[in-house]
Structure 1
Amino acid sequence: MTSTKLNKITQGLKLALVVGATFSSQQLIAQENAGATASEDVETIQVRGLRASQVANLSNKRFADGVVDSITADDIGKLPDVTIADSLQRIPGVQIRRSSGEGATVNIRGMAQVGTMLNGEEFLSAGAITTSQPDFTDIPSALVGGMDVRKSAEADVLSNGISGSIDLKTRRPFDLEEGLTFASSAEFNRGSYTEENDGRFTAFAGYNTDKFGVVVSASYDESTLANYRYGLMHEGWAFFGAEGPAVDEGVGCRWGCKSEDTKVDVNGDGDYNDMYLHGVDFGNVSRRSLRERTGLSTTIQAQLTDTMRLTADVFYTKLDDVDHQYGLIADNAWSDYLWMEPLNAELRGTGASTGLDAYVATQMTLNAPRVNAYTEAQTNDRESLNINLELDFEITDKLSGSFRYLRGDAERSHTENVAQSYLTDGSAHNLNRRTEDVFEPVNVNGYSGRIPLGYDVSGDHPTLSFPTIDGEAFGSNLERYNMVSTYSENNFTEKGDLNVLRFDGKYDFDYGDLTTVKFGVRGSKREVERDTYILLAPFSGINGATGLEETQYVMWKDIGEAAIDTNGDGQRSTTGGDISLGQPNRLVNFDPSWIIQSSDFGPVNSGSFYFVNPEMMEDNIAFQNAFYPGNIKATNPNDSYKVEEDNISAYVRADFSGDNYRANVGLKYLKMDLTVRQNELGDAICILCAGGSADAGDIITEKSYDYILPSVNFAVDLSDDLILRGAYGENVSRLDLGRLGRGLSVGRSRAGDRADDLGVSPDLQVAIQGSLNGNPNLKPWSSTNFDLGLEWYFTESALLSVNAFNMKIDSFIVSGNSMMGLPDEDGVIRRQVSVTGEQNGQGGSIDGLEFSYHQAFDFLPDLWQGLGVSANYTYAPSDSGNVDFYGAPLPMVDNSERSANLVLWYEHNGLQLRLAGNYRSERLAAMNATGGNVGTPGNDLPLWTEATTYLDFSASYDINENFSVYGGVSNITEEYESNYLQWSDFTLSQNIYERRLTLGIRGRL
């Protein structure tokens, strides 16, 4: 992370802390001089322990103005689970996704369009600068004292989610007992696969004098997390190869082959209506995430007068995340799409959109033209600072209000750096290098020809088996390895800032059922800018046609490619006679610190292999310059953009209360103005590159939207402990800003076997796909939501409830495919390829039921009184309007139809035990996951993620009032995610997570 990147946020943080410290000292002096003065009593609620936490959660839900579920920390700095997202998944209707095994992103009721708030107002998170889905990876859980999940709309509450919003709540000093409060913890963590010793440290200090208070929370942790990856590396590049018109690629005649005829009967069944599922690359990859997370939260509260209170908050987070990946990958060199030979092909039926019979094999031989030892290093640094100033005041005993200003700044930087070390020599896909004296395969010491590998997805994990060649275990000889290609792409920086100013008023009535009228106005401005870039290295040489030296800039530094037309024939082609760029980079000649040998591939181990050390690749510019000096950052204009969003809203809300009911009715007006700056693509600025175009100017699109958003919430006391609760509301949520700002990107690969048909050199990079990544005309998400439920509070620590909900989504964002002519690397359009893009589609709905049961078994005798349970189940079927291979309807992406949680806990004499399980049924990960039209009449295979069940255990023991020891095990069973394409036995890929052990000590004074 550069110093200039840190400067803005760091200066803001320092200023906030200096002002806070000055203000604190002045207040302390004033308190000492003035002594104790009479003031309004402030209720303080101290929650400690599992039972007390459950009582607080149920109390929040029971007396909430809408449909709300809560999570309360059971001690200072101690949420029930390891991460914020892991705790949120215990709430009915909440589903999460994981990043390296840790809970990260959150859905509510199947929708990712979830609002996020901090202490009741919007904040800017570095994990979600451009997206609408919350990502809490960078926020330490120790900074949060509780969370409310709001599932119904209220006029005075920020409406920035479709299915609901999440309100993170930090601790406020006036919520503490008077005097000083200190708490801290230190813990040890270790993973079952990584076997690295990690640590986490937290500290909390609070001071409350009734008139003045200050709180400081800090957290720091380091972790090394395992996340192995098996199967297809590019999930969007699984294909059906069809019979009929012959695909002019392939080997042998098992999968489609070259033929003088125009038709091929692959399986010899007498017809030409069969198709076969295959992909482009398969591998076993070891991945580790190294995370360093820092958090700081400070709050100052001052009772300025009997009728005026000032609150100031500073919330700072920082995450440095490095991902190391390495593994052996076998692929088709992005040219031979029929390289897989089935061993147990099975007919799976006829496609609804294709009319062809589908054959799928779970065991096959990969006739791989290329096998490479792949290494990648990614960095993902995040930093955010949010400052809040709030003044609450009373004008009369009936009229009160507040002014609030919030400023948020967030930055995120990401780099990707790749090294491909071939074990094959390159001859199988005609990749050669040329000097003035030599024309030879790019890796002359590598294995020649195609490598037959066994690939099997019929077991627990996809497995690759490698042959023994000439008595040598495949990959065991370092002499075989040559770093043929290296590049750095998909690098970006994102910056966002947020300003919010709002006024809220309240007038209390003391007659009739009308108790309160609330009103307010709010204005906000959010600016987000993304700059995406690639690294280009200069290559110079004499152009054979002009006799002059020229320089070309290259991203894919591949020693089998040519940068200069050295023979003057008008093409850059090593095969055609041009001198290739670069020199062999044999790993045997590397400094020993630059290579590693590893057999660490998790539960599947296919051998020991050599790789470029990913630690040496964390600095992408330094690594690229070490082999190809002079790299420059070149902005990728099709993925760079700026979006400004200005919102103005006003609301009025009336609260009613009678003998047996509570209700509120509100109306909100929202005006949303969007300005989207995209880039017009100019001339190419590089060769052998992705997205290498000049920025030819700006394309400005302005949009304005107006909404009237009604909301109704009510709760009827059917008896002293039985509540009927209902809600109606209309919601609006912003789109992911990338969906508005991005442009057209063209995917290219080496022509290879396509060269003859296209009349080009095999070395030319030709268009194979396109993506319209952004559409500024997409409308914001909007919905109409209904809730109706029964809640039975049969003790203060017990609840049995059922809630029905319906969400009518006005318009889904859908992907569409079309055929477009896209230019090859030389600017010539030679054919049409598949292009995907997003547009507003028809609406849909999600209906569901949520069941909850919570109880502390206080009625049991003696030791058994400490038992308790929390359980919930959600049923939420959905229909996206899309269909699968057979024409069956598909649900919404990332929505599990069924999810459940079960928590068993025990608390007695300082001992706390907790066993928690979370279940998600299968979910649709992506629609239309097949990638392209290589012999493919249809493109309608859904990618699914199998059902998962995660088990966690934690325990703690209070040694005395001041000290506790604790421990836990997360992901006890080493659960993992498995993805399949249409058929559950055809595993496409897997993400393998580890079990984590925690031991720690906590102190409190």
Structure 2
Amino acid sequence: MRRTLFLSIALALQATATTAAAEPTRVSAEAIASQPLDRALNALSRQTGLQFVYNTQTAGNPRTPAVPAGLSADAALGRLLAGTGLRYRYLNETTVTIESDAVGTEPSSGMVTPMAVAGTDAAPLQAAATVEGVNPQNLETIQVTGSYSRSLEQAVDLKRTNIGFSDSIVATDVADFPEQNLAEALQRVPGVTIERSKGLGTKVNVRGLPSEYTMVSINDLATASGSGGRDVEFDMFASEIIQQVTVQKSPTAADEEGGIAGSVKISTARPFDYNERKLVVSAEAAHNSISEKVDPRFAFLAADTWGDWGGLVSYSQSKRTNRTDSTSGINFRPMSRFLSASGTRGTQAQAVLARDAGVNIVNRNNTDETNLVVFQDKVGDRVYLNEQDKWGATASLQYKPSSSFSLTFDAMLGGYDATEDEYDAAAYSASSRSTLDTIHEYDATTLSEYGMVVLRDVSYTATQHEMLSKERINKTDYSQYSVAMDWKGQDWYVDAMAGYSGAEKTSDYSNLKHVAYAPSRTRWTGRSGETVPSTPGGFDMYNASDKYLFEAYETTLEKVDDDKYAAQVNVTRMLDLAFLPALRDIKFGGRYTDRSKQRQYGELKITGPLAGSSAWVNTRTMADSPLQSIGDIVPGGAYTIKDLDWQQISNGYARSAFRYDGFYTPFDAGQFYQVDEKVMSLYAMADFAFDIGHVPVTINAGARYVDTKVNSFGYHPIQRPDGSTGYTDTPVSKDGSYDDLLPSFNMTAELSQGLLLRAAASKVMMRPALTDIAYKRTASWGSYRFTDGNPELKPTYAKQWEVGLEKYLDNGALFAASYFRKNIDGVVINSLTGVVEDVAVYNANGTLNGIFDFDVYQPVNAKGSYQVDGVELVAQLPLGMFTPVLEGFGINANYTMLDSSLAGESDLGIRTPMPGLSEKTWNFTAYYENDRFDARVSYNHKDEYVESIGYDMYPIWRDAYGQMDVSIGYRITDNIKVSLKGINLTNEITSGYTMDPSFPTMYEASGRRISLGLRADF
């Protein structure tokens, strides 16, 4: 029986080829390694948008040689078929036949024998058969739709054909896993980890480096963010509207800067990705185990083409209600807090230390002594309720009159509204009224290598007990528009883009604060800390609402506007030079960006029923307001961390009762800043392809010149003779500039069939955070210190190289291993940069306190370099290759290990890794799927890492964290699928400690999340 293979990629919302794959001009920097003809044609089809038809009986499935980087579709086909006895022929603009040189169709007949079809969609089969004269009944077809294994194969193809080191996930892996946002989808990419906050992935770390070291772009346009830095807040992006994400780890000269950690390149869909009308609708309901709320999620995509035109729209909306129970805030506080106090507070602390712990402090004002004795700063029991409303939409209008030209308009819009209620019952041990009473237990051995003594269990004279009702309302609106043109001539390729990316973020924060002072005893427990009454005068802090006095209703308001305009053009010239046959093409281009970020901030305290009134201070108690049990004030019932219950004032009541008519939080002129940044960059690079013996080699080499100009301004503080503080009447501005040349080199060599040696080297940079560039000055009058921004900051640079081996098997399996090194220069630190002499400081009553010299601290680029070494391992293995019994089973795993000399800044000289850097991370996914059923189990793990450095002295660690997620799907019909997904099924706890696990800082539970969904494809 004649067996004809029909290979297809059914592009749906959650199983699509990448937008880049559909654009013919984007193949110029790629290469297809040696592999069977059917796989090579499928890869080339995804890159060019062409559909290939051939007779498998006549053509067979020979192995094809490697295709050099930078070839047109015609040149690539010529190289693929060289020596196979096959030829290619265009039937129309999008369909190409592969046939024998000796046996083929006469041009006049218009008929061919039954053919296999390699193309970008299954749907055109009938049409192609009609054009070709193929009887569809003679075709035995295999069709893969919405398949996880197929998405892995596509990701492998992208990795294989890229000239540099990269890893990708495509739509099925982005949106069909149980992720809550784009950050959580990215955690499955080798070398990528995420930072979690209250059960939600928020920021992305590539190869263990901080999130601000990663460059992020959407449809080739660098993404604006509402943050104060350059890192992108991934939690605001809905994963359903994303079609593909590639993490580029070794840049080319054509890439915008590259990023020290890497570049995250996000693509959305375009209409000509599909060869037929497409409509996909999905709906989901998710349940959180702690809040016990059910949250809806909805998405759809619609695409169609008509003649030369195509249109696509997609939309996603979701709500999320997540409750987190936590003990936290249990950090170290240096004993200088008490010892440096005047009067009996300082002397009593000194005496108690000597009496109960045998610690003799010689000089109470010598921080070299006092910082080595620590106690608990605060113990808090907290409940968070986080409610999110997120929506995102894309639109694309495409004009494509031929395979050689397209003009595309892309738009991406979204909104992210998040309201977080925090109810906090806390005991602030370091109260300004308090000091040591009795030390019940101390530890002079655990941290003895640093000369530190930790007071484990202490009674205090006047602990500040706090009941805090906090509300954070964040609203982010983002938008992105771009126009892209692609043109392909016989020897020239040109693509150009112009676009805008903008984000506007508003943060409204309030804190209703009631306090009560009384003796208490605070100590570490097995996994957190606790506060109990001490006598005489102590009380049960959880059940004494009448003792808590109103202190203030604090409000802050912040608004950030981030706008970026960009334009670029890329030109490729294909070459076939007799004197230099290895040179395949040269590529050159330029990019101009204009970015402006503006920040406004203000704060105000309400202390009475009218503006300026302080009638409530120390007169109104917490009992004077309606109270609710913590188990009733948030959904989900009782506090889950401890056997505790307490009452607080809801944020809803606080907002209505404490904000008087006409209240608003004014912006503070002194906190305003604006940064304008203009960048011009030019690049040139070349692609080479040649054979060394029987080894095909491809090389990409080039350089990018970047010229940057910065203007930053803000207001500077002044103190008037009457004792009041204010700001300069006009902004104070300053310019900065820098330029550099960034070379890059990438190489692949196919040592044997399917075995690739890959190497790369480059110089990359990451620009400083805009908050550090902002030329504003803040004053600490009591500390005689000014803190300035620094527009003259230079980027942080890295010289990096990587070498690796990748083995590709015919069934889509992949084994890869690479070693990389990064030498990082110019890390930004805060440093003393000058002194302002003879600054007059006035008392509150207007009298002169004195004339002082003020130290000026600024962020600067540190001298010296730091080194990061790493190993990355990847394995993708369909188990059916071993035995038919395991057909449909497979694993997908990766492991990254880092060794870094990067040290956190500790004033005590404690060497720590850079905050956020985890030495070991790994992901493991096991899956099974057939025509109707699929199941996946995924576990991701991130080793412990330094989260921050408390008081610039004490490293605070986040414990290692592992999470198991599960997805099960069943296809009811060919068009309808039902799925059951689970996030954090093992209900993992987030925890941390200061310097040693016996000093825990937090214990946080966010629960598991179970969802049921339905998807329909038409």
Tell me, yes or no, whether TM beats 0.5: yes
> What residue is the counterpart of 1:515 in the other structure?
584
Deviation at 1:633, TM superposition (A): 3.4
Deviation at 1:981, TM superposition (A): 1.8
1:625 lines up with 2:659 in the alignment = yes
1:525 lines up with 2:594 in the alignment = yes
Deviation at 1:911, TM superposition (A): 1.5
Deviation at 1:335, TM superposition (A): 1.4
Q: Distance in 1 between matches of 2:945 and 2:786?
A: 25
Q: For 1:309, which of 406, 409, 414 is the aligned residue? A: 406
In the alignment, residue 67 of structure 1 is paired with which amino acid?
A: F
SS of the aligned residue for 1:62 comes to helix
Q: For 1:971, which of 973, 980, 984 is the aligned residue? A: 984
> What residue is the counterpart of 2:253 in the other structure?
155
Q: Distance in 1 between matches of 2:289 and 2:344?
A: 44
**Counterparts of residues 394-433 of structure 1 (less than 5 Å):** 394=488, 396-422=489-515, 424=516, 428=517
SS of the aligned residue for 1:369 comes to strand
> What residue is the counterpart of 2:1007 in the other structure?
994
Tell me if the contact between 2:947 and 2:957 (Cα under 8 Å) persists in the aligned partners.
yes
User: TM-score, length-normalised on structure 1?
Assistant: 0.79
Q: For 2:234, which of 136, 161, 165 is the aligned residue? A: 136
Q: Distance in 1 between matches of 2:208 and 2:244?
A: 23
Q: Distance in 2 between matches of 1:920 and 1:910?
A: 34
In the alignment, residue 699 of structure 2 is paired with which amino acid?
A: A
Deviation at 1:179, TM superposition (A): 2.2
Deviation at 1:100, TM superposition (A): 2.6
Q: Distance in 1 between matches of 2:217 and 2:779?
A: 40
> What residue is the counterpart of 2:895 in the other structure?
873
> What residue is the counterpart of 1:44 in the other structure?
120
In the alignment, residue 717 of structure 1 is paired with which amino acid?
A: E
> What residue is the counterpart of 2:697 in the other structure?
661
Tell me if the contact between 2:814 and 2:875 (Cα under 8 Å) persists in the aligned partners.
yes
Moved more, 832-841 or 411-420: 832-841
Q: Distance in 2 between matches of 1:54 and 1:102?
A: 25
State the number of aligned residues: 860
> What residue is the counterpart of 2:19 in the other structure?
none
1:734-754 deviation line (CA, Å, top 9, x unaligned): 21101111644457xxxxxxx
> What residue is the counterpart of 1:16 in the other structure?
none
Deviation at 1:319, TM superposition (A): 0.5
1:958 lines up with 2:995 in the alignment = no
1:895 lines up with 2:921 in the alignment = no
**Counterparts of residues 241-640 of structure 1 (less than 5 Å):** 241=336, 248=343, 250=345, 255-257=349-351, 267-268=357-358, 275-304=372-401, 307-332=404-429, 334-336=431-433, 338-339=435-436, 341-348=438-445, 357-394=451-488, 396-422=489-515, 424=516, 428=517, 450-457=518-525, 459-465=526-532, 474-476=541-543, 478-489=545-556, 491-511=557-577, 512-535=581-604, 584-590=619-625, 602-617=639-654, 624-626=658-660, 631-640=663-672
1:946 lines up with 2:964 in the alignment = no
Q: Distance in 1 between matches of 2:829 and 2:915?
A: 11
Tell me if the contact between 1:160 and 1:734 (Cα under 8 Å) persists in the aligned partners.
no
Deviation at 1:338, TM superposition (A): 4.0
Tell me if the contact between 2:820 and 2:869 (Cα under 8 Å) persists in the aligned partners.
yes
Identity %: 21
Q: For 1:113, which of 187, 209, 212 is the aligned residue? A: 212
Structure 1 pair 679–104 and aligned structure 2 pair: CA distance change class (3 A): same
1:591-641 deviation line (CA, Å, top 9, x unaligned): 579999659674323532222211345x6xx66533xx6545333344321
1:701 lines up with 2:767 in the alignment = no
**Counterparts of residues 708-727 of structure 1 (less than 5 Å):** 708-727=741-760
1:704-751 deviation line (CA, Å, top 9, x unaligned): 11111111000110111111101111112221101111644457xxxx
1:101 lines up with 2:195 in the alignment = no
1:203 lines up with 2:300 in the alignment = yes
1:56 lines up with 2:150 in the alignment = no
1:682-712 deviation line (CA, Å, top 9, x unaligned): 4589999xxx744532121111111111110
**Counterparts of residues 642-657 of structure 1 (less than 5 Å):** 642-657=674-689
Deviation at 1:379, TM superposition (A): 0.7
Q: Distance in 1 between matches of 2:327 and 2:720?
A: 36
| Structure 2 unaligned spans of 5+ | 1-90, 97-118, 123-144, 363-368
Structure 1 pair 974–248 and aligned structure 2 pair: CA distance change class (3 A): farther
Q: Distance in 2 between matches of 1:729 and 1:387?
A: 31
SS of the aligned residue for 2:169 comes to strand
Moved more, 55-64 or 839-848: 839-848
> What residue is the counterpart of 1:907 in the other structure?
929
Tell me if the contact between 2:441 and 2:458 (Cα under 8 Å) persists in the aligned partners.
yes
Deviation at 1:240, TM superposition (A): 3.8
Deviation at 1:516, TM superposition (A): 1.5
Looking at both structures, which has the greater relative contact order when contacts are Cα pairs under 8 Å and sequence separation is at least 6? Answer: 1
SS of the aligned residue for 1:74 comes to helix
Structure 1 pair 495–826 and aligned structure 2 pair: CA distance change class (3 A): farther
Structure 1 pair 675–661 and aligned structure 2 pair: CA distance change class (3 A): same
1:235-254 deviation line (CA, Å, top 9, x unaligned): 5x72244999887564995x
| Structure 1 unaligned spans of 5+ | 1-36, 429-449, 541-550, 560-579, 748-765, 931-938
Q: Distance in 2 between matches of 1:811 and 1:470?
A: 55
1:78 lines up with 2:176 in the alignment = yes
Q: Distance in 2 between matches of 1:838 and 1:265?
A: 43
> What residue is the counterpart of 1:19 in the other structure?
none
Q: Distance in 2 between matches of 1:118 and 1:190?
A: 32
Tell me if the contact between 2:251 and 2:258 (Cα under 8 Å) persists in the aligned partners.
no
In the alignment, residue 327 of structure 1 is paired with which amino acid?
A: D
Q: Distance in 1 between matches of 2:197 and 2:447?
A: 37
Q: Distance in 2 between matches of 1:341 and 1:717?
A: 72
> What residue is the counterpart of 2:334 in the other structure?
239
SS of the aligned residue for 2:652 comes to helix
Q: For 2:860, which of 839, 845, 852 is the aligned residue? A: 839
1:451-476 deviation line (CA, Å, top 9, x unaligned): 3244323x133344457999985443
Q: Distance in 1 between matches of 2:422 and 2:855?
A: 30
Tell me if the contact between 1:856 and 1:867 (Cα under 8 Å) persists in the aligned partners.
yes
**Counterparts of residues 752-763 of structure 1 (less than 5 Å):** none
Deviation at 1:323, TM superposition (A): 0.8
Q: Distance in 2 between matches of 1:76 and 1:345?
A: 50
Q: Distance in 2 between matches of 1:925 and 1:893?
A: 5
1:465-513 deviation line (CA, Å, top 9, x unaligned): 4579999854435444443321113x21001111111111111113411
SS of the aligned residue for 1:634 comes to coil
User: TM-score, length-normalised on structure 2?
Assistant: 0.78
Q: Distance in 2 between matches of 1:703 and 1:647?
A: 12
Deviation at 1:976, TM superposition (A): 3.1
Q: Distance in 2 between matches of 1:347 and 1:592?
A: 43
Q: Distance in 2 between matches of 1:113 and 1:175?
A: 33
In the alignment, residue 452 of structure 1 is paired with which amino acid?
A: S
Structure 1 pair 210–724 and aligned structure 2 pair: CA distance change class (3 A): farther
Q: Distance in 2 between matches of 1:596 and 1:684?
A: 51
Q: Distance in 1 between matches of 2:216 and 2:524?
A: 46
Q: Distance in 2 between matches of 1:846 and 1:855?
A: 30
1:381-437 deviation line (CA, Å, top 9, x unaligned): 10011001011123x311120221101221000011011123x2xxx5xxxxxxxxx
Structure 1 pair 328–75 and aligned structure 2 pair: CA distance change class (3 A): closer
Structure 1 pair 826–992 and aligned structure 2 pair: CA distance change class (3 A): farther
